[in-house]
Structure 1
């Protein structure tokens, strides 16, 4: 009975350690994915900001009147 208990405790301890290593690896993978997603989100925000600035430049009253003047000069 004592030997069976020793084997059971050893097996359980080994299983817990293996599971802990698995969880640690999964945690590292999830953290890496989160960092990747945050970097991509930051890049997309920068691109969106740049496109918004271009759009605001195209739609501003000064830009529109400048283009109208250029069109009148060409015609």
Structure 2
């Protein structure tokens, strides 16, 4: 994460995937989180919030976009 921020300079760093997001959240370096929720349930895959530990992470809703295909929710990580 430090290397990505250094390479980005003043620009934002975007991460994708459950493992990377969990790692960034646990390290305290994720400022915002966007979830794209679709109306289908899958029975396999990596759980997005499975390995965050026991300390709660407070989130603030920044934006919600609701469409027939998906609901897009952006959260700011409260510190």
So what's the TM-score if we normalise by structure 2? 0.18
Higher helix fraction (1 or 2): 1
Structure (1/2) with the larger strand percentage: 2
Higher relative contact order (CA 8 A, sep 6+): 2
